[in-house]
């Protein structure tokens, strides 16, 4: 699911950053079809043109920071006796 779009981003990340640094890219079928200032703008435009699940929205930043996220949880574990 959207593997080829993500691979396209990774394989072209350096050149995309030079052109679109900080923008939210809409990638469909290994092609940038839009670049937007916010994720919401990218989603609204892309979802009005394409079926959901057929495009990738990716923030265009250098390094791994644009495609690696850390999630923090406030879960506590209780040891049962």
Cα–Cα distance, 45 to 1 (Å, whole number): 20
Six token digits for residue 2:
């959207």
State the chain's mean pLDDT as an integer.
Answer: 88
pTM of the model: 0.80
pLDDT-derived band at 78 (thresholds 50, 70, 90) equals low
Least confident of 3-7, 26-30, 61-65, 66-70: 66-70
Which is it for the CA torsion 45, 51, 55, 57, positive or negative? positive
């Amino acid at each position: 699911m959207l593997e080829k779009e993500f691979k396209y981003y990774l394989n072209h990340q350096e050149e995309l950053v030079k052109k679109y640094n900080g923008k939210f890219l809409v990638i469909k079928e290994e092609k940038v079809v839009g670049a937007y200032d916010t994720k919401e703008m990218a989603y609204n435009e892309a979802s009005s043109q394409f079926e959901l699940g057929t495009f990738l929205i990716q923030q265009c930043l250098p390094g791994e920071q644009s495609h690696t996220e850390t999630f923090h949880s406030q879960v506590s574990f209780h040891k049962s006796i």
